[in-house]
Amino acid sequence: MDWKIFATVFAAVFIAELGDKTQLATMLFAADREASRWTVFLGASLALVLASAIGVLAGSLLYSYINEKVLHYVAGVGFIAIGAWTLYRA
């Protein structure tokens, strides 16, 4: 296992998820007195694992057909476009 890549991915995803809609939704479910905290934790954890698995699978498939450098540019442009759209709507 490449620990440098592991740490980079962990830090990037962890920071990106803090205060995200996913975390806020999870907090709302956990605030329900009738909901088991373990059920909320396990449901949210499984959902994040599945979403990550889909991302890894999609990235692997795209890498088979598209140059890695092009994928980096497309991702960068996508993030800039989302940021610009978010600023425009604010």
Dihedral angle of Cα 65, 52, 24, 75, to the nearest 10 degrees: -20
pLDDT of residue 32: 92
Measured distance CA(56)–CA(47) in Å, rounded: 14
Q: What is the predicted pLDDT for the residue at 52?
A: 94
How much of the chain, in percent, has pLDDT values that exceed 90? 59
Which sign, positive or negative, has the C-alpha torsion 25, 16, 46, 39? negative
| Average pLDDT score over residue span 60-75 | 88
- Answer whether residue 56 shows pLDDT above 90: yes
pLDDT of residue 16: 86
Q: Where are the domains of the chain?
A: 3-89
38: three-class secondary structure by DSSP: helix
Q: What is the pLDDT of residue 19?
A: 81
Instruction: Specify whether the CB–CB gap between 35 and 29 falls below 8 A.
Output: yes
The model's pTM: 0.70
Contact between 53 and 59 (Cβ < 8 Å): no
The per-residue pLDDT for 11 is 92
- Region 12-17: mean pLDDT is 88
